[in-house]
Amino acid sequence: MVMATHYTYLLTPQAGLWGFASTGVDLFFVLSGYVFGPYFFGKPLSLRSHLIRRFFRLYPLYLLALMLYIALHLPTAAAWDHFWVHLFLVHTLESLQVANFYNPAFWSLPPEVEYYLLLPLLAWVSTRHRFGRFGFVWLVLLAALVHLALVAGASSDDKGITARAIATVHVPGLLIEFMLGSLAYAMVRRDTAGRAALTRLACGLLVLSGMGLIFANYVAPVDGVAPTVPPWIGGNIGLGAALGYALIVSGVTSTPQGARWWTKASFQPVFLVMGELSYGVYLFHNAAPQILGRVLPAAGGVAALLLCTGITLLIAFVAHHVVEKPMRAYGRRLSQNSARVK
């Protein structure tokens, strides 16, 4: 979805409604929240093992991507201008221009890291006896209130740590999207039979459709002119999309096993490969047009779209097997050894 919205310029000068596909980032946050949902309901969480596994899951492939984008900026002197802030994943603390300097997709990694660091505390709070069984619910409500308060005070300035930046590119404002993913897990946990799965799927699609219409009317540029966005929309397009995705994820994952066409043997290999390459596709897809521009500068239109997609998949495939997969396996072994030592 993110690759699609970034590649629309290869076919048309205005992304229009296709720009809504950028909410794939919000789906990314929801899925992260879903994966870590069990820790809010009693699953043990070793801080050391958690941090080791998260580091080797995220950072090695990111570092490879960062070096690739720096290489694509060479031989200009500016190629290394923002290396250090990106190396330490603090590039969203300065400005969106700095965050997007190498690769616009890099902005979403700091909030993911912030969530990883905050998760042990959130899980501890959620499972404390004094909060009872409503601890998780209170966390969800608090995250929603913080987001709405930040959006209400958001300004249009994109430099520094403004209220808008905190609401849209940092965990204080984005935590609700992660928590919606964990809420999806909670719904599945309470509905293993999938009795309400179809209802949640339908509601999720309706919410997404509604947010898409709002996006088309208030956010998507028309004839190159971006409309004035009403204050009540602010950073809530992503939040609304995340709500829709959370409903869909809960519906999909609680569907009875026998009704899941996507788990059939003929589909599984395709979806497993897509899952394995997804992080690499996310990191490297903005490099493909730059590479194509150097190799075949005359390529354009559908040909450029297909070639960029092919280049992205090729890089993601090689990077997965050479860097990502071995580093993840090493991280797992290291975390297991750490847990045994403890």
Mean pLDDT, residues 139-159 = 75
Mean pLDDT, residues 184-190 = 88
Under the banding of pLDDT at 50, 70 and 90, the label for residue 122 is very high
What's the pTM? 0.90
7-44 pLDDT, tens per residue? 998 998 888 888 899 999 999 999 999 999 999 988 99
C-alpha 314: how far from its chain's center?
A: 21
Distance CA 184, CA 254 (A): 10
Contacting residues for 170 by C-beta, under 8 A, at least 6 apart: 92, 110, 111, 114, 161
281-306 pLDDT, tens per residue? 999 999 999 999 999 988 889 999 99
Structure letter (DSSP) for residue 171? H
Contacting residues for 141 by C-beta, under 8 A, at least 6 apart: none
Distance CA 261, CA 342 (A): 43
